Amino acid sequence: MPKLSAENKELIAAAVRDKAFACACAMLREAGWRRFTMKDLAARMGVAKGTVYNYFRDKDAVILFIRETLARQISARIRRDMERERDIRRLLRRIILKSIEGMREFRFLHFAIGDVVMRQSSPEGAFAGDAAMDCVHGALAAVMERGMKDGSVRPGDPGLMAAALHSSLMGVEMGSRFHGGLDTNSQKIRELIADLLLRGICTEEK
């Protein structure tokens, strides 16, 4: 039997990971993190359990893979939007609104991601080697840096401002889980949040 080329192996690996992403998300949406098992994931994918373990050490690794995949998708979208939209205020508003919508759409992942990240964090609270957050923060920092150059964003550290914006958005999502009045399904609420955040980030328009 002929050996697979490196390119074909990578294509197969990518297909397996894509299927794992879709199946794991569906399972987490349906049954939640506590009932999620590698055995059930393999069954959902239609592969042997050993095949899943070839790609993921355990179910924590599956969650971190989902988190990193979503982060890369978000980063790519921000960079695409940067190429299309030159007005930084409009670009930031779009990023904020899309982020709120996305966090609500993937709300079913929050408990799983929080559980895994907290257990793997250092005693100081930092999650070592966080490529997922670095990816998103890098894209946001590029937006902030451009805004500082054209005067639409307040002067400061682009990376710090990116991290602060992202943390604020995560806080909004967390708050919406506990405060009935903060319904992020409402376009009016999302626009209000965007207005408040943009006032802190952007300079006043002349």
Question: Would you state the pLDDT for residue 9?
Answer: 75
Give the per-residue pLDDT at 80. Answer: 96
pLDDT at 130: 78
Domain ranges of the chain: 1-56, 60-201
pLDDT at 40: 97
pLDDT (0 to 100) of residue 12:
85
Amino acid 131: pLDDT = 80
Q: What pLDDT score does 4 carry?
A: 63
Q: Which CATH superfamily is domain 1-56 in?
A: Homeodomain-like (1.10.10.60)
What pLDDT is attached to residue 129?
A: 59
Q: Cα–Cα distance between 46 and 59 in angstroms, integer?
A: 17
Q: What are the residue ranges in the chain where pLDDT is below 50?
A: 1
CATH assignment of 60-201?
1.10.357.10
State the SS3 of the chain. CCCCCHHHHHHHHHHHHHHHHHHHHHHHHHHCCCCCCHHHHHHHHCCCHHHHHHHCCCHHHHHHHHHHHHHHHHHHHHHHHHHHCCCHHHHHHHHHHHHHHHHHHCHHHHHHHHHHHHHHCCCCCCCCCCHHHHHHHHHHHHHHHHHHHHCCECCCCHHHHHHHHHHHHHHHHHHHHHCCCCCCCCHHHHHHHHHHHHHHHECCCC
The packing angle between helices 88-105 and 131-150, to 10°, is 160
Determine the pLDDT at residue 206. Answer: 65
pTM: 0.88
